[in-house]
Structure 1
């Protein structure tokens, strides 16, 4: 027998990550810095004949575009956080943007690798001193951007409200400080900047080798190495953001285990359990229980209170008949 409960008061689904607006501002600043340096590197690489420098410049241009996705996703998620059209809020929009950015990153790696392989067969003369100077400036800009985007995992105060669903249904919607669950939107921007820094470092190494030993092939070879590393980073981001979009985030399995450990020792049997991520550090759960003597909803909520990542909980209880 499954007893039903009365309608509960309206509640919001505000599941954005910690420091959402601050991270958005950081990304806009990084876009401005990246776009400025990208123009310098493309022009300088073309004039001085450095394939690694040109690759870094075009690499930065596509990163600027990818980070624009990040910034716009932050803005859209913030402005529509209370829109009832989004059943569980807009917290996962960042993961969608992160996935798109990761795909762009993979395409960048492919293009750099191809162009560099072509340049290996058709080397050109390079004006090493000028190219090295520009690459060093590019690296400094990238390091500043990486520092700006570094996620400090700061926690913020939370507030919540519970909604009782009679004696046998419960729905809980709390704004907890994120713990498990990374902000894949910010992470995507950070990886793009790290990829920029990597190509800058490899460009400097290649240019120094070319200037010292006349190894013109070192320039495109370093670009190929950079492309391979960037492709690996891209794949990791695709896996992580994609798993959130498909409700298969690894952190969700940890929360699922915590729920079972909290519920089952009390004599209640978990018959069905669904856990998924609804935003950075925010998880939702639907827990179906069977108990000989069902208790008040507040009892089951209290058992899960220590799992701070649970921001949206629905509990259904059936009376055991045998």
Structure 2
């Protein structure tokens, strides 16, 4: 097995991921589907060689003691976010293709309202969605736009560092967890003493990180982060539920004050079967949204999202319907990926009349 050839082939085909595991052919994820790459089924010694070739001594220690490790890797073909882990038959590895440059807003098809998030001086902006939906790429594009237009200090805390940001108008300090700091919570607390304007937290994973992120947003910093949630209501509930019951009322008030936007995204198959398109739900921090969060009525957030077009808001189903109208996705795809399939069917039937 030649790892570089496997990665080169997958990169040339524009795959999003490569999977290596004992007993399986090398696989690549192309337009959402897992497809085999050329070569023989991998043996235990093949995966042992991958571990020896890719991992530093420190990373091998983490793998042995914890069973998995994350790191970034680059070769002549590009950059990759890598997770190596132990499983029943030996070691396995998942490579996420990152790419060399940061895609622009236009290349990603980001809604225009997201420009306003790059102009914020403080507050919390969250990008949410399932694994593989492009959250990290969206955040990288937002950071790049700020870097191009403003003279600020941007600190990114990532596990691992994916996109490399050169200094443009801004100074960018990119820290990799756990290489440069033990954890997100510790690095985030330390960043408040490093004179940042913008802080990117790769993922808000635990109470400590979430609590510190809320405090940072409250004290005059723009905090950008991700959550593995679907939609604004679930995102708000996830943040609140992390805290003990006796703190939740206070956290609802704090979150209602600092939350400036929630971007929920998913990738849907394109009409040609060989591409994917991004659909977005956008919630902005209007007075109505803040009141619902403060009053514990997150389940009602869909209402201001559906009626808040003038404030830049858009529902997921409106975004999916737009992709259908632009002939980017099929009718069946629009229905199957809709939040409310029956309502989507009615809207599509109305378009055909």
TM-score bucket (shorter structure): under 0.3
Q: Which has the higher strand share?
A: 2
> TM-score, normalized by length of structure 2?
0.24
Give TM-score scaled by structure 1 length: 0.25
- Which one has the largest radius of gyration? 1
